[in-house]
Structure 1
């Protein structure tokens, strides 16, 4: 024979043998030989080589590979073996030149001899056929390729069928003792193959080893229950009964193997009714609406024009199988012709071949192994023929994908199918699907009541609720915890809760009596492609409870599109949950127990340096997005930058994420705070302080002062620990600014002075100028105008050396305020106009609005009400462009004062009341005081002394509380004038 497929691929020509080492060439040649003398389409060859993701040049590369195979064959005298024929290629091989064809011929001869009763000839033919096999099929290192799975599985199935037929012939010749040892090995290698086990039982029994024969049955039954959730088929059950009853005649030879039917068809004789459903659990609870929905989808009175398929999807451990079996048992009597059940995943989450499942089903209907075809298509045809017109319920548990399920579907609408899967089987046409979620608190408590008793649960309800929370409402986790408590009545619920609190041991605690959350999650994890497994592990590094899809890119160091596709595989596998926020933004999260398992996988699979590099990539990407969000909100940069790496994202991803920058920040705020914490824990001090400082303007905009303080104290500690003096200075400067917002001016001054010294020590003139600017502002708030002006001039001189127009504008704005207070209107307007010119370089809307408000106040002081109204109106336009609530307060106040002086008192009062509402919600205390002052002045002007006195008194309390001496003195003066009495 020139071509050998049955083992390692070998080719021998007239001029010697050829060694084909290139993997793609081996795949192509093997597939062409499997389909010898039949055209194999190019597309099928592409699928075999690359699977679902072929390159754009795939067809051209196939042509090159075929050409190289032809060249290699020609070198040993095998010319014109492979011919091009649309739509692909054909290998023209004589039957005697291909071991696969010789194998088929010998196997056919053996079956013919066996059917004729010539078991000696049958044995010889079968043995000669099996001798052609030189080992396991070995085509390439990627033997799990989908395109090769079918042909490979078919050849292996044919080999095992011939082995069984050879054993039947040997038993017919009375060679049972010689077969026992070999059959034991075959059963160990193929524990789910029932006919082999039946042959072993028969050989043992006829060798006088009855107890061992029955033990072989018991072992086989346990394997079938554990692996597939089914009882043994008719052949094994009848054989066990015959051995137990003594009706199996040890002297009589076995009946010859049944001839295979010429075409698939039902087996004659009384019909066998398979009852393969597992038992339902007694404490099933909490799924009433799902049960009703499933029963409606499976109702035999429903539309019978097409197949009825219902799918049950959900994450591992959520209770899909329990629900399916419960519903199936409820409906079992409505399907008198049988109920079929099969698990579609085997050990380590490997899919059970459809051919194996079909064999189980056919045996369940009483069809003997010898009458079951070897080919998958023929088995599927025989199955459809067997159930046609009958009322049979089919339950397929834990399906891998649609392709696996399609082989197992009946052709008859009278046979509904219920499928459970972690994946959403949207590719099965006409499927009615239900999603099983984790238990609500009420449902979880119902389960605990059923297992532990209501008295025990209600006696310690707080601990019961904590137990539900630690199990995340996952049905399997709750059932395991409850089972452990039921087995240990001396344990309190609090004892179980305490054991579960240790996250490192939680999955160990959630294992009992063969049930376990870890094993359930492992099935899903091991069924993933390697890249998806890697992403699953690394997602557990994120301490944030939820995240956006872009995070997958830095976690895998891949482009966003590819990484997001991988993330969706985790969603499909129900290992990651997703929800739409506001109907648009997808947010992803992991169930707490899933995260614990992912962390275990991460610890086992990836080293500490690997994890550190991954975390740094993620944090660097967050910093890049955060800075870009800042630029989009403020149309400018923030003041200080560190040396941390910024990992960019593609422009289209940034535009997608930051379509609403402030909305993005609000959604990501918790994650960003967590990022600061993780950076510190990892010792990434530069990244840590850069993230914290970039967050400040966002925190300031929403008055998230506690977040501001928390992030900066974390960053300050890690920069001190790592000797990062510039980072320390930046954090001290920012904390000083925070204290100023809180009107804790003495603390602010202490932090700012320390920051100024550190900036000076590292030669950072820009940072030093910022600290001096804020120290001057503290002087200004406390009424020390001369010191403040001196500080501003110092800061302005240093800022001339940098490119920071926004801070320059701030300084000029504050200097203008002092000019206004001193009645130097020309200087004030000059400073403000200069600030507006400076802002042309940065376009900062927020500071621009502040300057325009200040300019409006200057016009009010000079009585130019039209100019004041125009300035405040322009300020309001800038404020609304960026959504600045504090700025809106001051603009409204300015407009209200303008309206007051124009005599529009009602309109002025309405504006002030609106400004008050915004200021109080924003907790802007100084603004509240100034509006109270304006309301008091307005009430006094309108002659309402009581109302004026109330507003002025409350304003005075605010000013005293924040130590705003200038405004305190003004409020006292107005109140004193109103009451004509001195105020203490």
Structure 2
């Protein structure tokens, strides 16, 4: 435990005060400060501690540390009262809320429960359970004049202390001889409860293996408080107040690192300090061990960050040894626990910020029910976290441990098989959704063997869509990784990428699908020409949806060459119509008109009514470009009536958006605004939020076209708020760009500059050429 001298000197130096300056602001004498820092007075009065705490502006936790250090040592007194709590650590920091909650239980137990108070502190190894329990116990020691008892139950070692031995230790601490029947746990438990009757005592049961180990150690009368720490949640223990510890926040982790290496190092290089705590996963034990390896120079902190980045497993061996104890205990237990321990290394191979229950079942090659049982058991022992229902994640350091085990235990063919199972799980879900919601099958995906085979039992397509929505980032990650894999993985990457556009169209979110398709389309994977044509077509389609029409044209020209060679009506017609749209958007109406002529025959041959509607939209758009506004209005009126009968709600919104663009480009802002209002209402009803950014952008343009700047500003503001929720779509910058222009028209120059500066920052992040235009606006002041 830290003494007053060391703590006071550290806090004073951190505050930049000399001994004389501290004496002045605290109201104490210089001699008193020197006496305390010299260690000649170890237990100052409470009012002295209060004065120093206020003068040094200490946090609540730091003030408690100073108060605790000033107390006289807790040992067994002359009356034999046990004072067994371990020494508190000097660098205790963070955990203010949890410490307050635990102290509330200990200092006012009758408010919480009329009889004994039991608090169970649970969390993964190295999270700080024992530290917190001891800290609280020492701060509340005065509430328990009849003793503070401590037993290390060794639950995380694989060789837990038997309740009989724990009871013997507790009885001896209370001055009671265990007696004759020392092997009978029930007899010992009765003697223990009798010995505690009428006493006010605190018992800390540290590192409990489970409920069966703890139950005989609980007292039977009021006046006794028990704090239990365990790597697993003791949820079936009755009447327990549970306190689950997670990792520190980044700010708390930085403060802890500062307490270990000195706050000056953290202040001098916060970038390196932040990297250190991030590599440590904000785990207290890891931070203390890493900090202990740091040379006390700025270069030392940077070197530590580099070493952790290069080989965290080697740098933090003691942390992994601590974490592995949980696994060792699990593997030494019953059949379920052994199965969970066996599954653990395989589960840590999942990438991303989470993995779903269904994918775990497929990788483990077991049923959903069995997989859930195993996963929840790993959650119980704090080796696994569950951030959302049926979603799971590992702490980075736990995942490191599991992966080192997996690569040691599994052969490369076995590891490859696990990757293929995960890919097939996602492929099944993606194409089962397509199978249930679309009749189109240009790639023979629904033939035998179906690409949806791994999800063939599912029929609730809204639930599948919800699952896929939550897994978008994992889908992209898997596809990008599979492109670099073996032949089987590469084929699955192609099949997954081809399923992404249908999902994107239903969610009206295009960035993730575009990224996945581009990764596959730009690879050197050899594939069926139908697949290659589909990849190029959808890559072009989605790039255009994201506003990159020039890129879209290049991909669609390539797709058109292949479609003409394949000569399948649907693929040819769809490619011609999409290329037509892009060409019109970039002002190449003459070529676009030729493509519409070519598209007429394959549209009719396809027999697909919705393709005929898409062709009508192209005709209406070209009429607008040619100035034939009446024809444009007539065609679009008919199309708007047909859309709900030909398309899904999400595709209706996309086509309404296209029609509104055409009206705007031909100078018919009122018509555009009416169509956009319809599309917005449909979007909000269907909760397809991401597309609202595009709709509000065009609505703002329609208001600007008639100089209704107030309404234009509101539309752009609303659109920017939506776009900020979906940064991957890269829509926010354009909205802020337009917002600045509308604000400038209203004479709100400072607000306009702020909007343009935000737009410029976003443009520059992705090297968008529009950044130059915004720089000009900012430089010119208008």
TM-score by length of 1: 0.55
**Correspondence for 2:371 among 535, 560, 563:** 563
SS at match of 1:492: helix
Matched, 1:622 2:426: yes
- 916-925 or 447-456, which deviates more: 916-925
Deviation (angstroms), 1:419: 0.2
In 2, Cα distance between equivalents of 1:471 and 1:333: 36
The residue number in structure 2 matching 1:231 is: none
| Cα pair distance change 1:780/1:600, threshold 3 Å | same
Matched, 1:501 2:306: no
Deviation (angstroms), 1:614: 3.4
**Correspondence for 1:670 among 461, 468, 473:** 473
- 873-882 or 399-408, which deviates more: 873-882
| Cα pair distance change 1:812/1:573, threshold 3 Å | same
In 1, Cα distance between equivalents of 2:662 and 2:315: 69
Deviation (angstroms), 1:472: 1.4
2:88, 2:135 within 8 Å by CA — same for their partners in 1?
A: yes
CA deviation map 1:67-114 (0-9, x unaligned): xxxxxxxxxxxxxxxxxxxxxxxxxxxxxxxxxxxxxxxxxxxxxxxx
1:686, 1:727 within 8 Å by CA — same for their partners in 2?
A: no
Deviation (angstroms), 1:317: 0.7
The residue number in structure 1 matching 2:496 is: 691
The residue number in structure 1 matching 2:483 is: 680
The residue number in structure 2 matching 1:446 is: 255
In 1, Cα distance between equivalents of 2:353 and 2:315: 23
Paired positions, count = 641
| Cα pair distance change 1:724/1:362, threshold 3 Å | farther
The residue number in structure 2 matching 1:598 is: 402
The residue number in structure 2 matching 1:200 is: none
- 570-579 or 604-613, which deviates more: 604-613
| Cα pair distance change 1:891/1:627, threshold 3 Å | farther
Deviation (angstroms), 1:594: 1.7
Higher relative contact order by CA 8 Å / sep ≥ 6: 1 or 2? 2
**Correspondence for 2:539 among 718, 729, 735:** 735
In 1, Cα distance between equivalents of 2:324 and 2:404: 13
| Cα pair distance change 1:766/1:778, threshold 3 Å | same
Root mean square deviation, CA, Å: 4.9
Matched, 1:811 2:620: no
2:206, 2:230 within 8 Å by CA — same for their partners in 1?
A: yes
CA deviation map 1:363-412 (0-9, x unaligned): 54566676233222222223222333334432211223333211111123
In 2, Cα distance between equivalents of 1:830 and 1:535: 61
The residue number in structure 1 matching 2:521 is: 716
In 1, Cα distance between equivalents of 2:674 and 2:107: 73
1:850, 1:887 within 8 Å by CA — same for their partners in 2?
A: no
The residue number in structure 1 matching 2:596 is: 792
Which of these two proteins has the greater Rg computed from alpha carbons? 1
**Correspondence for 2:93 among 275, 280, 285:** 285
CA deviation map 1:28-74 (0-9, x unaligned): xxxxxxxxxxxxxxxxxxxxxxxxxxxxxxxxxxxxxxxxxxxxxxx
| Structure 1 unpaired stretches of 5+ | 1-269, 945-984
The residue number in structure 2 matching 1:393 is: 202
| Structure 2 unpaired stretches of 5+ | 1-77, 724-729, 747-782
SS at match of 2:127: coil
2:84, 2:149 within 8 Å by CA — same for their partners in 1?
A: yes
Deviation (angstroms), 1:319: 0.8
The residue number in structure 2 matching 1:554 is: 362
In 2, Cα distance between equivalents of 1:848 and 1:448: 52
In 1, Cα distance between equivalents of 2:417 and 2:195: 58
| Cα pair distance change 1:371/1:691, threshold 3 Å | same
Matched, 1:537 2:345: yes
| Cα pair distance change 1:549/1:680, threshold 3 Å | same
CA deviation map 1:637-670 (0-9, x unaligned): 78855747333276588645646x8xx73x5443
Deviation (angstroms), 1:327: 3.1
Deviation (angstroms), 1:306: 0.9
| Cα pair distance change 1:732/1:271, threshold 3 Å | same
In 2, Cα distance between equivalents of 1:836 and 1:730: 30
| Cα pair distance change 1:838/1:548, threshold 3 Å | same
1:836, 1:848 within 8 Å by CA — same for their partners in 2?
A: no
In 2, Cα distance between equivalents of 1:565 and 1:614: 20
**Correspondence for 1:465 among 274, 281, 292:** 274
Deviation (angstroms), 1:320: 0.5
In 2, Cα distance between equivalents of 1:329 and 1:917: 54
In 2, Cα distance between equivalents of 1:494 and 1:872: 54
Matched, 1:757 2:561: yes
